[in-house]
Amino acid sequence: MAENHYSIEAFVNKTRDRDLQQGLFELESERMLDVNLNGEVWIKMGAMVAYTGQVRFVHERILEQVLGNLLKKAVSGEGARLTKAMGNGSVFCADAGK
């Protein structure tokens, strides 16, 4: 029988949420962004993987969509749909491994 080098404790320690004191956006791993939310932020629809705390998500409205399109094109160069995250907590985002 092969010896198991991994334990649940090792997994939890390796993957637990760590406050890296980097401000609003922290790279939790090479493919996971941790947004330390205290207010509101726009995120790409479908990018939210998990969250902790008191967070509410609201889809963009038509008027916000028009204003948001300018921001989206300036920031990302694409016309992605956005969701507003509001509240206090951590929102974990990933986008197809990017």
Sketch the domain layout of the chain as residue ranges: 8-93
Percent of the chain with pLDDT over 90: 29
pLDDT at 39 over 90: yes
Q: Which two tokens stand for residue 91?
A: 């929102």
pLDDT higher than threshold 50 for residue 1: no
Q: Give the confidence band of 31 by pLDDT, cuts at 50, 70, 90.
A: confident
pTM above 0.95, yes or no: no
Cα separations in angstroms, 92 against 1, 31, 65, 82, 89: 38, 10, 23, 15, 10
Looking at residue 30, its pLDDT comes to 83
Indicate the average pLDDT of the chain.
Answer: 77
| Nearest CA-CA partner of 85 in 41, 46, 33 | 41
- 2: helix, strand or coil: coil
Residue range 34-46: mean pLDDT, rounded: 90
Compute the C-alpha angle 30/89/17, nearest 5°: 40
